[in-house]
Amino acid sequence: MESVTPRKAIIERRDEANSCIRYELYTAAALTACSGVELLLESLFTEYYISILRDDRNSARAFLAARDQWNEEKDLKNQWTLTNWRRYFEDEEIPRKMQAHFGKEIKILSPGMLKDINIEWNKCKHDIHVASPQAAIQIVEILNRSLEELDYLAGEGISKHVATVQLNADWQGHWGDQILGWITQNQDSPFYEVLSRLTLLLNLVVNLASDPRIELEPKTQLLVAAHYVYSAIDLIPDVENNVRTLVDDGAVLVLTMSWLMREDKIPDELIDEHWSGKDDASQEIQRLEKYIQDNHHKLFRDKRGSASSNNVWSTIRRVAKVGPEALWQNYWKEAY
């Protein structure tokens, strides 16, 4: 059994959460940090199991069998959410067992702390809930301190605060060539219209968010949309070497810009100034919005494969009505 949660993925969630705190996106920060804690618990379980396996295969098999029996008794159907990992760690005293096995006390992820994190996680998932600065900062700091205590940061050299410009550069470096290669070979695809404009749209949003002439409220909305693209948490999870999984990111950028334009929150001249495309920025965004509206049944499919009334589209289309914060108010009810 190999670790399915690399440490780097958890550290990326930590960095995303810290960046959200920096820009006062507290609900996004809380959700991202909670997700990081969920991955951390999964990773700790896997590393503990591998350590036992190295010492005694029979003990490792018994450990897995006990976990599976607990899962069956709780009737979880292998749905390992943050809530279930927390309950499992508490019921089976996993931190105590790990301390005995590794000879190192684990202080941070105590049952009380995990319960508090789980409560905030459920609020954000199931209610129209805006996390307070205090709650978000506390959860992010718990994740920060947990990774430090568990030596997950050794040798990583990743800063706790990542500027949006740097996140954009990292994203472009990772996806840029893949997108370019895909669009040159798939011009007949229904995904082409959105994905061929994705880089232009992301640069537009980031440049506007960095412009000191933009007021705080629309700047916050732009940052929410940008962080949705950079985040590992997606309506359609990003899959390496599958550019089509970025279609929800492109749609969020289009509908965010369209909403801001309708609300007159950003002057047209600033949009034109930061648009690097050859066509008219406003007309192109309006055209893409109509294309997405007309072709959503082809573009967005949830994991069950349904096409028109799935959670992906029902959430994305709300962005056009109320702005990108709709992503944090609705999606989490179904996604986790």
Do residues 36 and 81 lie in contact, with contact meaning Cβ atoms separated by under 8 Å?
no
Closest C-alpha to 145, from 242, 14, 235, 22: 14
> Pick from 198, 113, 108: which is nearest to 145 by CA?
108
Q: What is the pLDDT of residue 153?
A: 61
> What is the reported pLDDT for 252?
95
Whether the pLDDT of residue 282 is over 90: the answer is yes
70: tokens are: 């607990």
Question: What are residue 239's DSSP bridge partners?
Answer: 242
Position 33 scores a pLDDT of 87
pTM attached to this predicted model:
0.61
Give the mean model confidence (pLDDT) for residues 207-217.
85
Any idea which residue has 């069998």 for tokens? 65
Share of the chain above pLDDT 70, in %: 85
Q: What share of the chain is helix, strand, coil (3-state, %, to 5)?
A: 70, 0, 30
The gap between the terminal CA atoms of the chain, to the nearest Å, is 24
Query: Which of 35-49, 65-79, 197-211 is the least confident region?
Result: 65-79
Q: Is residue 163 very low, low, confident or very high in pLDDT (cuts 50, 70, 90)?
A: low
User: What average pLDDT is seen over the chain?
Assistant: 82
Q: What is the pLDDT of residue 328?
A: 64
Q: Indicate the SS3 state at residue 242.
A: strand
Note the pLDDT of residue 157: 37
The CA–CA distances, whole Å, from 146 to 12, 98, 114, 319 equal: 14, 15, 11, 34
Burial-class residue 53 by CB neighbours within 10 Å (0-12, 13-18, 19+): middle
The pLDDT confidence band at residue 30, using thresholds 50, 70 and 90, is confident
What is the spatial distance between Cα 40 and Cα 240, in angstroms, rounded to a whole number?
22
Least confident of 20-34, 113-127, 322-336: 322-336
Measured CA distances, 48 to 1, 111, 158, 245 (Å) = 11, 18, 25, 33
Distances (CA, A) of 124 to 76, 117, 327: 21, 11, 11
Sequence-separated (6 or more) residues with CB below 8 Å from residue 45: 67, 85, 88, 94
Task: Read off the pLDDT of residues 232-269 as tens digits, 9 standing for 90 and up.
Answer: 667 888 888 899 999 999 999 999 999 999 999 899 99
Q: Read off the pLDDT of residues 74-114 as tens digits, 9 standing for 90 and up.
A: 887 667 788 888 889 889 888 888 888 877 777 767 888 88
Lowest mean pLDDT among 88-92, 171-175, 203-207, 331-335: 331-335
CB 32 within 8 A of CB 231: yes
Is 99 or 270 the better-scoring residue by pLDDT? 270
Residue 128's pLDDT band (cuts 50, 70, 90)? low
What phi and psi values does residue 20 have, to the nearest 5 degrees? -65, -40
Torsion, CA 19, CA 177, CA 302, CA 188, rounded to 10: 140
pLDDT at 108: 67
The beta strand positions in the chain, using DSSP E, are none
Residue 334 has pLDDT above 70, yes or no: no
CA-based nearest residue to 250, from 186, 319, 303? 319
Q: What is the pLDDT of residue 270?
A: 94
* Residue 2 pLDDT: 38
